Amino acid sequence: MTSVGADLSRSDGPAKVAGAARYAGDFAAPRMAYAVMVQSTIAHGRIVRIDTARAGAAPGVVLVMTHANAPKLAQDPMHAEPPSSRAVSLLQDDAVRYNGQPIALVVAESLEQAQAAARLLHVEYAAEDAALDFAAAKSGAYTPKELAHGEPDASWGTADAALEGAAVRHQATYTTPMEVHNPLEPHATLAVWNGDELTLHDATQGVAGVRKTLAKKLGIAPEKIHVLSPYIGGGFGCKGSAWSHVALAAMAAKQARRPVKLVLERTQMFGPVGYRPPTEQTVALGAARDGKLVAIKHDVVSSTSTFEDWTESSAVLTRMMYACPNVSTTHKLIKLNLGTPTFQRAPGEATGSFALECALDELALKAGLDPLELRLRNYADSDPESGKAFSSKKLRECYARAAERFGWSKRNGQPRAQRDGRWLIGWGMATATYPANRQPASARLVLKPDGTALVQCCTQDIGTGTYTIMAQVAADALGIDAERVRVEIGDSAFPEAPVSGGSMTAATVTPAVLAAARAVRDKLVALAVNDDKSPLHQSSADAVELRDGWLRLRGETARGEPIPAVLARAGGKPLEATEEAKPDDAVKAKYATHSWGAVFAEVAVDPDFGEVRVRRVVACYSVGRLLNAKTARSQLLGGIVWGVGMALTEQAHVDRVSGRVLNANLAQYHVPVNADIGELDVTFVPEDDTTFNPLGARGIGEIGITGVPAAIANAVYHATGQRIRDLPITPDKLIGATSA
């Protein structure tokens, strides 16, 4: 292979730079109307009355849809099928479950008319007491029935007894706040009915999932729904589910008898389309004098909505990170009158690694060990929970390479020992991890008479470079240049693939592309060796190779012919194959599959004002084979940047009286900008995990955020001697903190 692994630029880049890429909100249809979603202003209660008279009479208004006149649905919208199908508010009753819940839809000839009319709605409520205080609600914490992956509670050995007898112990509580996805593109849906058939242009991470979900909600056959999402302006988890606005747009379009476009406003991205829930995590560690772990306890409390369970599985990674004979992990939920949380980049691993990796740093201090040495002494060569071997793991190499590039051996372990002028300098490190996930997927490949190829799959490119790597895999299998492969995705009519989430698209879809390409290659070779006019006639099919657009006999470069010549003699018809690839159950039974990384961070802290600057982050990853070196590095850079935001700036503030998010905009919900990011040094260890899949590649979209907040928090402690266990680490916390 020559294309796979190369640092090719993204094939969708030119269209995006030129403005030719069309996102869901860019599409239009004849007679299209515009919808505005109206949200509740109380956190709990009932709608007594919605006065629609003024709004309905406003200029250009086509429809005002409320619970009083909305179409009755085949399936209860509050019925959810985890993990991706959600309980949603589709105007089927008068109940208000959270502030920001959709309670009406105003449709008009123009967006401005719809916005103006929406302000004319008068809503009367019967408010009821709302649960909005995380701490106050903890008394009602309960164990959820299930997690998206794994059981809520898991343990082995006797953690309590081992902890009690440990020579070195540490216990502390770490908290993370509500965080909100803010992709550049907000959620958007255009719904177009043609008789009983529905076409949706939707900003989604899962066109197949939207199709299935809406079929159930609306009570129509999936074959009657066509979902399109060729380009997505960022997803990060929030676009992995079909939220209320998707079905509402379809319902309004049906009732108005014309296409309806609904684009959420930036403030509407806070609440009705998911978020990362707050967590409170208590970690207790026990070790022998030499630093070997003898006990780990990790207990997590997170919040969910009052109408659906969704759990931030923060303790799951603790079950496989370090070798330890006695481990106990638990998850509990509390119900709040907020919208339901959802997957947000590295759900569980991002928050859980913060708590676990900070706790290890604190244990290292008590044990008198270097933080890196402590991790090496507790290195897990196999999965501690299941006992399975890892399909591949090169974390030791990651530690060594990243530590050397960072200069970790020069670290003075004493807090407040390093300065640069008036700035306090701190160095911290942490381990990164994320599970390697894979599901079944299918792909179609068409080899055209001119020697170009077309690949089709109903997967999505959420900004990760899926278009490009699919072309690279197909190109190598067919022996042509990647530029001669056209990729079409984001269409529910194409061969099925799962949601683009869980860092599994590359590992899931490319094996299907490879299988389809190999099937077409076999057909092409068969045509040549069975054609008496071919120079390859009667050659062994196994001896024929495809390279540079030619079929040649291996080892005899003079004997061969170009692909178009073979197809021309066969009637000039394209060759086509649709193939499915799925995980091997035998492999799943025998191996644990994860990706790994080592993250080192340097911060500078202003001792008077508590300002934290991340000067540099050095990270090295064990993620299997790189399908594209450039897009792989880009994904890791983006994840690290998000980790900086998680560590230092990101937090949604909920008013405990109204339940409204107070900073529901990008002016007050702070994300990192270029000036906040120092030097980023990302490398990979060579690896080829063919045990996991035929291409040897594992997903990398989410591992980049894991470990980064902990590395920064550990560096802040090293700089200041102050241990901040409550994210984000803002100046007020440092100014008011005492030494740990």
Please identify every residue annotated as catalytic.
702
| DSSP single-letter state for residue 691 | T
Is-contact 399 372, C-beta < 8 A?
A: yes
Name, in order, each residue with C-beta under 8 angstroms of 297's C-beta and a sequence gap of 6 or more: 159, 160, 163, 171, 282, 283, 284, 285, 327, 328, 329
Q: Dihedral sign, CA of 502, 503, 506, 507? A: negative
How many angstroms separate the first and last alpha carbons of the chain? 53
Name, in order, each residue with C-beta under 8 angstroms of 492's C-beta and a sequence gap of 6 or more: 207, 208, 210, 211, 225, 226, 227, 228, 458
If residue 246 lies in a helix (H) or strand (E), which one and from where to where? helix 244-256
The letter for the amino acid at 393 is: K
Is the N-terminal amide bond of 82 cis, ω within 30° of 0?
no
CA distance 4 to 242: 34
If residue 601 lies in a helix (H) or strand (E), which one and from where to where? strand 594-605
CA distance 26 to 201: 9
Q: In which residue are the tokens 């900086």 written?
A: 644
Is-contact 207 229, C-beta < 8 A?
A: yes
- For the purposes of burial, counting CB atoms within 10 Å of the CB of 150, is it exposed (0-12), middle (13-18) or buried (19 or more)? middle
Q: Which two tokens stand for residue 74?
A: 């085949």
The letter for the amino acid at 587 is: V
CA distance 290 to 645: 35
- Specify which residues 373 forms β-bridges with: none
- For the purposes of burial, counting CB atoms within 10 Å of the CB of 667, is it exposed (0-12), middle (13-18) or buried (19 or more)? exposed
In angstroms, the Cα distances linking 431 to 222, 290, 296, 486, 598 are 43, 20, 16, 38, 5
CA distance 72 to 88: 14
Q: What are the helix (H) ranges across 257-337?
A: none
Taking alpha carbons only, the member of 448, 452, 455 closest to residue 469 is 455
CA distance 434 to 503: 8
75 C-beta neighbours (distance < 10 Å), count: 13
If you compute the radius of gyration of the chain from its CA atoms, what whole number of angstroms results? 27
If residue 404 lies in a helix (H) or strand (E), which one and from where to where? helix 395-406
Is-contact 301 138, C-beta < 8 A?
A: yes
CA distance 490 to 234: 14
Q: Dihedral sign, CA of 437, 351, 272, 116? A: negative
Is-contact 507 697, C-beta < 8 A?
A: yes
